Structure 1
Amino acid sequence: MRILIATDAWFPQINGVVRTLSTTVEMLRRAGHEVHLLTPEGRRTVPLPTYREIRLSLVTAAGIARTVEAVRPEAIHIATEGSIGLALRHVCLRRGLPFTTGYHTRFPEYLSARIPLPGIERGAYAFLRWFHGPSRAVMVPTRSMADVLEDHGFGNVRVWTRGVDHELFRPDRRMALEGKRPIALYAGRVAVEKGLDAFLALPFEGTKYVVGDGPALEGLKARYPDARYTGYRMGEELAATMAGADVFVFPSRTDTFGLVMLEALASGVPVAAYPVPGPRDVVVDGRVGGLDEDLGEAVRRALACDRAACRDYALGFTWEKTAELFARYLAPFEWPG
């Protein structure tokens, strides 16, 4: 199948959306599909207000239409709700081409955390219902997230799970991290919506690590100078660092999935998190981690979990299955004319 995927989130961004899409594309191509991408690469961009790490591409519907005509896809997927996604949505509706969409980011909750104005979350959900309304399948990563969207009036919601690279993330890569044990680690973007204050303020007898970067980093360093901040780590260095921890703490309440939790589990590291959409779909409480509204209690329960059980559990999540589900949910069509 010839597939066109449009995304406003792409390299050099470092996040779960980019990892999910890039790995899914790789798996689709291995399976014999012809995949074309519409991304910000090579385009002029401007930073998104209040979220400068995300950049919006300066595109026109006419330019996107020319790309569609050149590719002549047999299925179209719009992964994000930014300028590229909006332009391709417009072209598809004008030309009567079916498409599917992805819901990767809880922007209503992110906006509410960054701009706490009355009605901003409700208005954001209204925009997202409009954007995803014509979609033949709105792909979300978990059942809990599907329930949230359905409660907000979304239709055609499909659960599209995630995978993990079991060769990269594995227990035998374990790095000897400095600091008193146990070691509690967070990895990912360092931003207000990630809830890192809840993690770093916890009473804890061991050492806390923050692996990542973002707009909240300098403020966290000032408030919690005893934690260790490594900046972003990639590939084998990230895998070794993650495997070196005793517990992975995921304090976010706004992620749709939290791919780093699977990476931690594949590394043999139990996860502590709040019992909210995302973590409660990934973490089996008491088996591979702890889920509790008291994050300190979640950490204590996670530390008691068996590392081998975490690894075995993570082996059930594969990128091959992720790509297979993606292809199944697409809305194939014959190119008109």
Structure 2
Amino acid sequence: MTHILIVTDAWRPQLNGVVKTLERIGEELTHTGIKVSYLTPERFRTLPCPTYPEIRLSMAMARHVGHAIEEIGPDFIHVATEGPLGLGVRGYLKKAGRGGYTTSYHTRFPEYLSARFPVPERWAYAWLRRFHNDGLGCMVTTPSLKQALEAQGFEKLMYWTRGVDHGLFRPDAPKVFQDLARPIFINVGRVAVEKNIEAFLSLDLPGTKVVVGDGPSRSALEAKFPEAVFTGAKVGEELASHFASADVFVFPSLTDTFGNVIVESLASGVPVAAFPVTGPLDIIGETGAGVLSEDLREAALKALDISRERCLEVGRGYNWPASARQFLDNILEANGAARRNAAE
């Protein structure tokens, strides 16, 4: 049985697209007879990440990570994040002279960092470039992200798209918001500065703006925009109900690499309004399932005219079994290419 080890610094109790994606990929691969193990901060002593206290950073040296790898005994290693555990894998495998690893690019860390601290993006990109180029291949979600990373000198890039749970996210989910003025413009995700939620809340829109999620910026935004409705984080059927009850999903982020919440919205039959950037450009594009514009208010208002049927049609193109197959194919292809090169 093929055994894949997924190494990730992002893990529960975090609620984000990276964690949900890695968990779902593991489930799908297991259904096909692939054994999947995870190496996460749960195994080590941790410290809270500055400005992200719910993110626990592992206090693990390369040798500790190496001991865990030896104990687990995988056939292939995939490093999902560039944190302490990812660095530990890189350091251990280099020192041991063992086979390589694949990586994936989930977060535009240079942009996130520069939003909080006066750190030039080029410095962070230089570090990330070295990390990912040392691997056998780096998986990216979209053509526009691939193009952006290639411009930064990233190599061996491979596509790995995302899926959506169509059994959960559906237009007939139980409805909420019965007492709110319509139309309902909703945003779902982490309430943090890099998500640019203030751009959404500042819009002059009819009806009600709803923010579903939690994070460090929530209290400040609640105080600044008292007319908006903040529900806190929602999961499962409750989250699906919030999606399905909205009229337009507004995605103001400028830094996401994909935006799982976009396809969750489409699967719920809800059109999308967003800026024309990586993620929305690739998912929405010219599909007619949303409106992209530098004028986010204009996009949100025009999206009201989009039919739910069109959103559902586009949303059906994303599913987790296909995403898992692509993930596995990338790992096999990257490792096979490395073996062939070593034999030449």
TM-score of the pair, normalised by structure 2 = 0.94
Structure 2 equivalent of residue 148 of structure 1:
148
Q: Which string of whole-angstrom CA distances, capped at 9 and with x for unpartnered residues, describes residues 181-203 of structure 1?
A: 10000011000010111100100
**1:227 is matched by which residue type in structure 2?**
A
Q: Which string of whole-angstrom CA distances, capped at 9 and with x for unpartnered residues, describes residues 131-162 of structure 1?
A: 11111110011111111110000000111000
Q: Which string of whole-angstrom CA distances, capped at 9 and with x for unpartnered residues, describes residues 83-102 of structure 1?
A: 01100111122223111001
Structure 2 equivalent of residue 50 of structure 1:
51
Structure 1 residue 53, shift from structure 2 partner: 3.1
1:81-92 → structure 2 map (5 Å cutoff): 81-92=82-93
Structure 2 equivalent of residue 313 of structure 1:
314
1:190-209 → structure 2 map (5 Å cutoff): 190-209=191-210
**2:159 is matched by which residue type in structure 1?**
V
Structure 1 residue 74, shift from structure 2 partner: 1.4
Q: Select between 221-230 and 43-52 the one with higher mean Cα deviation.
A: 43-52
1:7-22 → structure 2 map (5 Å cutoff): 7-22=8-23
- Select which of 96, 109, 134 maps to 2:98: 96
Structure 1 residue 61, shift from structure 2 partner: 1.3
Q: Is the 8 A contact 2:101 2:136 kept in 1?
A: yes
Measure the CA separation in 1 of the matches of 2:246 and 2:315. Answer: 17
**Does 2:261 correspond to 1:260?**
yes
**2:296 is matched by which residue type in structure 1?**
L
Measure the CA separation in 2 of the matches of 1:207 and 1:285. Answer: 27
Structure 1 residue 284, shift from structure 2 partner: 3.5
Aligned CA distance change for structure 1 residues 321 and 149 (closer, same or farther; 3 Å): same
**Does 2:293 correspond to 1:292?**
yes
SS in 2 for 1:54: strand
Q: Is the 8 A contact 2:287 2:314 kept in 1?
A: no
**Does 2:139 correspond to 1:139?**
yes
Q: Is the 8 A contact 1:165 1:318 kept in 2?
A: yes
SS in 1 for 2:55: strand
Runs of 4+ in 1 over 3 A off after TM superposition: 331-334
Structure 2 equivalent of residue 278 of structure 1:
279
SS in 1 for 2:113: helix
Structure 2 equivalent of residue 120 of structure 1:
120
Measure the CA separation in 1 of the matches of 2:287 and 2:247. Answer: 15
Task: Note the residue ranges of structure 2 that are not aligned, 5 or more in a row.
Answer: 340-344
Structure 1 equivalent of residue 342 of structure 2:
none
Q: Select between 227-236 and 88-97 the one with higher mean Cα deviation.
A: 88-97
Structure 1 equivalent of residue 184 of structure 2:
183
**1:303 is matched by which residue type in structure 2?**
L
Q: Is the 8 A contact 1:290 1:300 kept in 2?
A: no
**1:169 is matched by which residue type in structure 2?**
F
Structure 2 equivalent of residue 157 of structure 1:
157
Task: Note the residue ranges of structure 1 that are not aligned, 5 or more in a row.
Answer: none
Q: Is the 8 A contact 1:286 1:302 kept in 2?
A: no
Structure 1 residue 43, shift from structure 2 partner: 2.5
**1:267 is matched by which residue type in structure 2?**
S
Structure 1 equivalent of residue 129 of structure 2:
129
SS in 2 for 1:56: strand
Structure 1 residue 62, shift from structure 2 partner: 1.4
Measure the CA separation in 2 of the matches of 1:183 and 1:286. Answer: 22
Q: Is the 8 A contact 2:136 2:335 kept in 1?
A: no
Measure the CA separation in 2 of the matches of 1:277 and 1:332. Answer: 28
Measure the CA separation in 2 of the matches of 1:282 and 1:89. Answer: 32
Q: Is the 8 A contact 1:20 1:162 kept in 2?
A: yes
Measure the CA separation in 1 of the matches of 2:45 and 2:303. Answer: 45
1:15-34 → structure 2 map (5 Å cutoff): 15-34=16-35
Identity %: 51
**Does 2:84 correspond to 1:107?**
no
**2:146 is matched by which residue type in structure 1?**
A
How many aligned residue pairs are there? 332
Q: Select between 206-215 and 34-43 the one with higher mean Cα deviation.
A: 34-43
Q: Which string of whole-angstrom CA distances, capped at 9 and with x for unpartnered residues, describes residues 56-80 of structure 1?
A: 1111211211122222221110000
**2:65 is matched by which residue type in structure 1?**
I
Structure 1 residue 309, shift from structure 2 partner: 1.1
Q: Is the 8 A contact 1:7 1:78 kept in 2?
A: yes
Measure the CA separation in 2 of the matches of 1:120 and 1:174. Answer: 46
Structure 1 residue 286, shift from structure 2 partner: 6.5
Higher relative contact order (CA 8 A, sep 6+): 1
Q: Select between 173-182 and 244-253 the one with higher mean Cα deviation.
A: 173-182
**Does 2:218 correspond to 1:217?**
yes
RMSD: 1.3
**2:182 is matched by which residue type in structure 1?**
R
Aligned CA distance change for structure 1 residues 226 and 285 (closer, same or farther; 3 Å): farther
**1:99 is matched by which residue type in structure 2?**
Y
SS in 2 for 1:166: coil
Structure 2 equivalent of residue 172 of structure 1:
172
Measure the CA separation in 2 of the matches of 1:58 and 1:113. Answer: 26
Measure the CA separation in 2 of the matches of 1:196 and 1:68. Answer: 40
**1:102 is matched by which residue type in structure 2?**
S
